[in-house]
Structure 1
């Protein structure tokens, strides 16, 4: 009876100690049942998390609805983007992007540098926010048959994009994502020509802004 009581007391003390303190084992000793189960669960959780990545490339559809009252309202643009980034912290990446979009007789190209931060990761899904700074140039050429005139417009902008992005991991290397954002265009230079007669300069009256949206694929390497 005393032997059974001693064994039971030692078992109880060991159980209470394991609840708050790490287990120290000598070589060859098996893990306690509860600790082994916890380690198995931790490994399973780790396997479901996003794998470490050095960088990525991505591409896809890019669209926007931008303009101003001075331009007669908003214009819808459609095009594509190419993006490459590198991780500077576990959840933060630095990226560079090129985008091209057009609408009727108007088109614009843009290069941008920015940061993306993943603030939420849940199994294979994530959410992130991003922003940066860019430079865009917008061109429009038209012919007015009524006045028999050729008209062209070239506008250069400093851009400030902000966006919210959500994505899903298809496999350890590939993600599908979409984002919705807002972008401000600050005029830095402009030139307007009518039949070869041109004027140039910059004006805040030429500033534009509006919604942006993207959908694409990302490859992590």
Structure 2
């Protein structure tokens, strides 16, 4: 109780002391009416830089495809990974890429180059349409069959930047594969030829990230 009383006395004296202290008024020049008010700009970033500045970009993505032909028993669903490197300048893209996919019967490896055009580049989002040319190797897993193809892919990619230089994207496309080599081995005998009957095509899809530097 004594502590409460002591605290009350100290509080009263503090109040009186403040009341007896003269109020100091600082003289100053009032702000002129109509003077501009400085606003602190909000922190923003420009992830998709002006394309005219030029940049390089690395992509890593899950890659899937559904390719085949009715004469060959229908389509195969392949899944794997895609890695690409692109250079962008003045709304134009040029790049190279590598894709590896497989399923229970086949392994598929592809290298390609591509050329694209940015039809969207605003509000941290972008879209690019591209076409390319490549070469693919498609060996069977359990049989002595090796296929090789000339590849013509087309694709539309749409993405959104989540950080200054990092975007997530999805892509849909289609590709045509023309057979250049069909090699089959029976025992010690191997034969190879180019067979139009082995030509295939199908659609492709990707989901991945793009990093600009």
Q: Same fold, TM exceeding 0.5? A: yes
* 1:196 CA displacement: 3.2
Structure 1 position 50, deviation (Å): 2.2
- Further displaced range: 189-198 or 114-123: 189-198
Partners of 1:70 and 1:178 lie apart in 2 by 31
Question: What secondary structure is seen at the aligned counterpart in 1 of 2:71?
Answer: helix
Contact kept? 2:47, 2:161, Cα under 8 Å:
no
Q: Please name the residue that 1:13 is paired with.
A: none
**Displaced runs of 4 or more, over 6 A:** none
TM-score by length of 1: 0.72
1:176 matched to 2:177: no
2: CA distance between counterparts of 1:50 and 1:59?
18
Pair 1:161-2:153 in alignment: yes
Shift of 1:102: 0.2
- Structure 1 portions without partners, runs of 5+: 1-32, 143-150
Is the 8 Å Cα contact of residues 53 and 220 (structure 1) preserved in structure 2?
A: no
User: Does the 8 A contact of 1:185 with 1:209 survive in 2?
Assistant: yes
Larger radius of gyration: 2
The size of the alignment, in residue pairs, is: 172
Q: Which residue of 1 aligns with 2:196?
A: 204
CA distance in 1, matches of 2:123, 2:104: 42
1:131 maps to 131
CA contact (8 A) 2:45 2:164 kept: no
Q: How many Å separate the matches in 1 of 2:161 and 2:90?
A: 17
Which is richer in helix? Answer: 1
SS at match of 1:217: strand
C-alpha displacement of 1:53 = 4.4
Superposed, 1:182-197 pairs within 5 Å as 182-197=174-189
Residue pairs, 1:1-221, within 5 angstroms: 50-51=48-49, 52-87=53-88, 89-142=89-142, 151-221=143-213
What's the CA shift for 1:156?
0.7
Change (3 A) 1:179 1:48: same
The more displaced of 71-80 and 119-128 is 119-128
What is the rounded CA distance, in whole Å, between the counterparts of 1:80 and 1:196 in structure 2? 35
User: TM-score, normalising length from structure 2?
Assistant: 0.75
**Equivalent position of 2:4 in the other structure:** none
Deviations 1:49-100 (A, max 9, x none): 721442011111000000002210000000001101112x221111000010
What SS is found at the alignment partner of 1:218?
Answer: strand
**Structure 2 regions of 5+ residues with no counterpart?**
1-33
**What is the Cα deviation at residue 110 of structure 1?**
0.3
